[in-house]
A and B are shown apart, each in its own frame.
Chain A
Amino acid sequence: MTTKILLALTLLAGAVQAQTVTGKAFGTYVNALGVTSQSPVATLPSSGGMATGQADAFGVAGAVDASWLNAVTTGAVDNKKSGAQSTSELEQVSAAGGAITADIVTAVATAYFGQFTGGSDGEGSGFTNLVVNGEAITTEVAPNTRVDLPGVGYAVLNEQIPTGDGLTSWGMTVNMIHVVLQDALLGLTTGEIIIGSASSSVAR
């Protein structure tokens, strides 16, 4: 009997705990040669709702060029289920002096929980007509694929970073192109370029 009462109280406490969602998406971020520049960012309020960040075009010479940047994040909170989903997409993308190009870059990050479980994923993320170092990539790019960029550094494609403890919180960050700029002689990191970034998380 005591166990049942404790279980009921535990469930009740869980039902009234504060739920939160977070979401963030943007098209491009550049930190190179002392220049930091970022396209409009969509940031979801912690109570849910919707936010957007858009630009017709965005460019930083030698680092990135893109058009039709659209970042959207939406989410909702309630006791039974909560969720956040963020998307970032760009068209006519050229990065790292043309070492990486794509017709379309799409990042999708999703986090959710229901009454009994939760999760997060980067399903829906992808490239359309990706070309790396002059070579067309005609298959899906696996999460966290590293490619070297001679004279530039390296890039992680479809970078997926899970967040949360998996018990009371779940999250995912997707960076479709994450270029790490390196000094050619010493190999030291000198900057970074992020293209197509979407993050979502939920907690209860």
Chain B
Amino acid sequence: MNHARHLSLALGAVAAVLIAAACHDAASPQGTITAGILPGHDKGGSQCADFRLTGGGRVDKPEPETGKSPPSSHDFATFGFQARPDAACPFNMAGSGNIEWNEHSETQYGGGFAFHGQVTLFSTPDDGTTDPQCGRFGGFGRLNPHNGATEEDVSFEVNHACDVDEPGVGKDHIYMRIGPLADGSIYFRHSLLSGGNIQWHRLTGNN
């Protein structure tokens, strides 16, 4: 339970950063930012969500730009995830699932990295995202930088992953944050999909 509380506060802190970053801010750069000490918040009283999310594909340019980076560019990431509320809902926002996130930009943390995360929290976004079919989830994972030592128990949050339409390219979007990393920075990438899809599914009791 303490672990859950700790996670909830961590996500709250990250969410506060994201509110400042603003979902549709065209000026939002991709990259790392210095981690700040931010007040945590706990929504309190929330129930476990009644939907789940799956997705995978590729993200390149910062939202609202669309499309792939040029063929000479390493500036993109690929991902795959499944996330859902914990079936037993032992506490508010309890979640389960996994995420893989592979960053290729050589100017990003570690000269690029592979991140393998486990989902422990799942809820609806609270960052002002207006699309109706979005989810927010987070947890901890292992980060393997291209240049450097493996880091364990690194926190992450998908501040939102949104299913806007089928197919999802140029419409669905995802906001990934990982950190604080070993150097104190926080990685983030916030993009419309340039490949792949995100799907939002209402839980029906059979799925």
Chain A contacts to B: CB under 8 angstroms: 48-50, 52, 54, 68, 70, 72-78, 80-83, 85-87, 89, 91, 103-104, 106, 108, 110, 112-114, 119, 121-130, 137-140
Contact = CB atoms under 8 A, between A and B. Distances in A.
A159 B52 CA distance: 33
Contacts of B104: 89, 91, 104, 128
SS class of chain B's interface: helix, strand, loop or mixed? strand
A75 B56 CA distance: 9
A114 B81 contact: no
A114 B166 contact: yes
Contact of A68 (B58, B72, B146): B146
Nearest to B97: A50
B71 A139 contact: yes
27 contacts: A50-B80, A50-B81, A54-B114, A70-B114, A72-B79, A72-B80, A74-B54, A76-B82, A80-B201, A80-B202, A81-B166, A85-B55, A85-B197, A87-B78, A104-B104, A108-B58, A108-B195, A110-B168, A110-B195, A110-B197, A112-B197, A119-B166, A119-B167, A124-B58, A124-B196, A138-B72, A140-B68
B201 A110 contact: no
A70 B100 contact: yes
A104 B80 CA distance: 18
Interface string B156-193: 00000000001111000000000000000000000001
B191 to A, nearest CB: 11
A123 to B, nearest CB: 5
Contact of B74 (A48, A49, A104, A110): A104
B54 A48 contact: yes
A138 B56 CA distance: 26
B123 to A, nearest CB: 19
Contacts of A106: 58, 76, 78, 195
Contact of A77 (B71, B74, B167, B207): B207
B204 to A, nearest CB: 7
Contacts of B98: 50
Interface size grouping (class) on chain B: 35 or more
Contacts of B102: 68, 70, 89
A127 B199 CA distance: 26
Contacts of A50: 54, 80-82, 97-98
Contacts of A119: 166-167
Interface in B51-94: 52, 54-58, 68, 71-74, 76, 78-82
B100 A123 contact: no
Given A50-B81, A86-B56, A128-B72, A112 B207 contact: no
B61 to A, nearest CB: 13
Nearest to B56: A85
Contacts of B100: 52, 70, 72
A77 B55 CA distance: 12
A116 to B, nearest CB: 10
B194 interface: yes
B56 A73 contact: yes
A119 B165 CA distance: 12
B201 A85 contact: no
B80 A138 contact: no
Q: Counting chain B CB atoms within 10 Å of each CB, which of A70, A106, A124 scores highest?
A: A124
B207 A74 contact: no
Nearest to B203: A78
A122 B197 CA distance: 11
A139 B52 CA distance: 38
B54 A75 contact: yes
Contacts of B76: 106
B107 to A, nearest CB: 14
Q: Counting chain A CB atoms within 10 Å of each CB, which of B68, B78, B98, B168 scores highest?
A: B78
